[in-house]
Structure 1
Amino acid sequence: MVLTACSGGGGDTDSTDTGSDSGDAVSAAEEFITPWLGEGEKNLLITEPLDEPVPEGTHVIYLDVGTPVSAVMWGNLQTPAEMLGLDLERVEVGRDAQSINSAMNTVVELEPDGVINITLDPIFFESQIEQLDALGIPIASGSVMNTVEYGLPEAFNGPDWMTSNGEALGAAAIARSGGATEYVFYNIPEFPFSPYEMEGVQSKIGELCPDCTVRTVDIPIAELGSTAADRVVSDLQANPQTEYFISAVDEVQIGLPAKLELAGIDVKGIGMWTAPPNYEQIAAGDEDATLSVDLNLMMWTILDQLLREMAGQEYQWPDAQTRASTLTRITDQSNVPDDPVTGYVSIPDYQDQFAAIWLVG
């Protein structure tokens, strides 16, 4: 999608103006991304303690959509489940409508105290949502864009959160490229959050650099982990004017640096939803940057929301930019995590802080 096509004369005055405009755009972009640099003290999104401790053996079901990141997030729930004495159960939901329907019928039959859903679109289990609601069983969601439309609690990282981080990606692209004017966004159509990231990228680049162009290229989800990097190489070969790329998910960059080098292409980029191999590439100087998400803090926050929903305790999320910049950070070689598996840690003592508001100990 073209925000504004670049056109103009080639005289000396135009060149000077373009350079000035580019410098202004970079300065404005650097100022905008300040909250995403990971500096300063950060707080939990909800700091109000629970009204009472969580009963031992509280049954919580985690819906596993079968992706590698879903497996990581399941792992991230183990420590808080042990801390609270939860009976944490994993239900694999599959990826087709029939499998999802069958799995969600099982969830209803199990009658848990609460359910955690990461990325699964409620459109696939609308009837089970009604059944769970009738049973008084809440669902807390992560990276789901349409919770409110289906009568579910608003996810802290819904559309506004995704759009805000998309704005950070767009500004970071301008800053890190030194004021490039030709960009491409690699969209993953099957991920419902991807269009919101794209919206943020386009709006922020359009605001900071009206003469910049942002192309959009779809990469099917089936190509992640296989041929996504090849598709990026082919696109950049076909569009040599491209100066910097932005990806909805950083998995697109896994293995990409070596293929770009082989093809003789020197175009850098930034993505979101970082995997351990991305951190390793950044540490080696092969990948420019990523917008890290603190996945541990994300899962503990979603669990905290579920505990409040189960207890009927009111809470309120802070504004979108605060939510976004609390859990995400622009990571490059200067601040890459030592442990690529643990990844970015936003709040070093988050476990102690959650223990305090959960009345543990």
Structure 2
Amino acid sequence: MHSRSIRKTRAAALVAAGALLLTACSGGSEPEETSADAGAAGSDAVAAAEEFLVPWNGEGEKNLLIDEPLDAPVKEGAHVVYLDVGTPVSAVMWNNLQAPAELLGLKLERVETGRDAQSVNTAMNTVVELAPDGVINITLDPIFFESQIEQLDALGIPIVSGSVMNTVEYGLPEAFNGPEWMTTNGQVLGAAAIARSGGAEDLVFYNVPEFPFSKYELEGAQSKVAELCPECELRVVDIPIAELGSTAADRVISDLQANPQTEYFIAAVDEVQIGLPSKLELAGIDVPGIGMWTAPPNNEQVAAGDQDATLSVDLNLMMWTVLDQLLREMGGQDYEWPDVATRASTLTRVTEQANAPEDPVVGYVAIADYQDRFAANWLVD
């Protein structure tokens, strides 16, 4: 809805600029560079962005990232701990682990870590005392629990990670969605901002510095925007993690009011957009945007046409994949991730109103029969 209005404005500018160019040519003088040339460059940028985004349209055959059976079935009652950092998306991921845990007969336990160093240290000491068979960590930086990593390693307890950028540095298995994956999806966000806005030149990126992955999304967006549109400006505004779920939308409103030239925004975490559309309307601001790490309210907003788009992550497939990695680590089984473009395009898709998920809680489903495929690989009868 919003992006169409931007395209109409740019189209009108192109027509006007074209008329000026014809007038200059009829005078017999050499035409100088006009806004028509800038418009053509903008059109090229949009076309290049749309071409880049093709793998992220959600179409085509997709496979599990590790598509081979386990060496042996998982033991009944295996104890797996999930580290919950307390964000809405973290809660969604916890819920997404319930079905595979039931399928495998796992004892799944959630440990809330908090967000400060002291809370994390206390929580991780609890994990060591629990001595589970394996640990799943989503987004928590290992720098906060380095000593507990050593203790768990001494006990032979593996830790697998999602959206953690420095696993290898701390002796942990490489996450499938580490720095390269995040950078690639950041490029998708940048390309989507260009394509969906019809070639906007004034953009802003809402960064959440406490999330280590956010800076990689930012770097990816910056590199792709610079490649597609060297004359574009991509401002960066930090939104503290403590404001997610509370005042993040208000910070966006204040920024857009202070920078009325902004045409489109990118959010590293789509929780920034929860409740934002109504506040934008109330403030009289018509600036669309796209984010990543979609929560159910984002899906509802996209389906209603209130939110322009989101870079959907199939969070069910993500959590089943992370659990699959943990099972292989617990069993001492070798595995290998595919290339980063395959990993990124398998789990993520640009979602707009036309392809919004029917069920906002389930969200984007990349592989319709993923449960059956995992069950076969996990040797479940």
- TM bucket normalised to smaller: over 0.9
Q: 2: distance between equivalents of 1:99 and 1:263?
A: 38
Match for residue 272 of structure 2 among 252, 257, 277? 252
Partner of 2:43: 23
- 2:78 maps to 1:78: no
Further displaced range: 68-77 or 197-206 = 68-77
Match for residue 325 of structure 1 among 338, 345, 348? 345
Q: Which entry has the higher C-alpha Rg, 1 or 2?
A: 2
The code of the aligned residue for 1:57 comes to: G
Residues 267-310 of structure 1 show CA distances to partners (whole Å, capped at 9, x for unaligned) of 11100111111111111111100001111111000000001111
Q: 2: distance between equivalents of 1:98 and 1:221?
A: 17
Which structure 2 residues correspond to residues 258-277 of structure 1 after superposition, within 5 A?
Answer: 258-277=278-297
Q: 2: distance between equivalents of 1:290 and 1:180?
A: 17
Q: 2: distance between equivalents of 1:95 and 1:183?
A: 30
Match for residue 309 of structure 2 among 264, 289, 301? 289
Which structure features the higher share of helix residues? 2
What is the DSSP-based 3-state SS (H/G/I as helix, E as strand, rest coil) of the residue aligned with 1:94? coil
Which structure 2 residues correspond to residues 1-361 of structure 1 after superposition, within 5 A?
Answer: 12=21, 13-361=33-381
Q: 2: distance between equivalents of 1:85 and 1:187?
A: 39
Partner of 2:9: none
Considering only aligned residues, what root-mean-square deviation do their CA atoms show, in Å? 1.2
How far did 1:94 drift? 2.1
How far did 1:22 drift? 0.7
> Structure 2, unaligned stretches of length 5 or more?
1-16, 22-32
Q: 2: distance between equivalents of 1:288 and 1:193?
A: 23
> Structure 1, unaligned stretches of length 5 or more?
1-9
TM-score with structure 2 setting the length:
0.90
Q: 1: distance between equivalents of 2:285 and 2:127?
A: 49
TM-score with structure 1 setting the length:
0.95
What is the DSSP-based 3-state SS (H/G/I as helix, E as strand, rest coil) of the residue aligned with 1:89? strand
Residues 79 and 134 in structure 2, CA contact (< 8 A), matched pair in contact too = yes
What is the DSSP-based 3-state SS (H/G/I as helix, E as strand, rest coil) of the residue aligned with 2:204? strand
Residues 40-91 of structure 1 show CA distances to partners (whole Å, capped at 9, x for unaligned) of 1111000011111111111111112222222211111111111111121222
The code of the aligned residue for 1:149 comes to: E
Residues 23-46 of structure 1 show CA distances to partners (whole Å, capped at 9, x for unaligned) of 110010000011111011111000
Partner of 1:6: none
What is the DSSP-based 3-state SS (H/G/I as helix, E as strand, rest coil) of the residue aligned with 1:334? helix
Residues 100-149 of structure 1 show CA distances to partners (whole Å, capped at 9, x for unaligned) of 21221121122211111111111111011011111111100011111011
Residues 62 and 366 in structure 2, CA contact (< 8 A), matched pair in contact too = yes
Q: 1: distance between equivalents of 2:130 and 2:295?
A: 33
Q: 2: distance between equivalents of 1:68 and 1:259?
A: 20
Identity among equivalent pairs (%): 80
Residues 204 and 234 in structure 2, CA contact (< 8 A), matched pair in contact too = yes
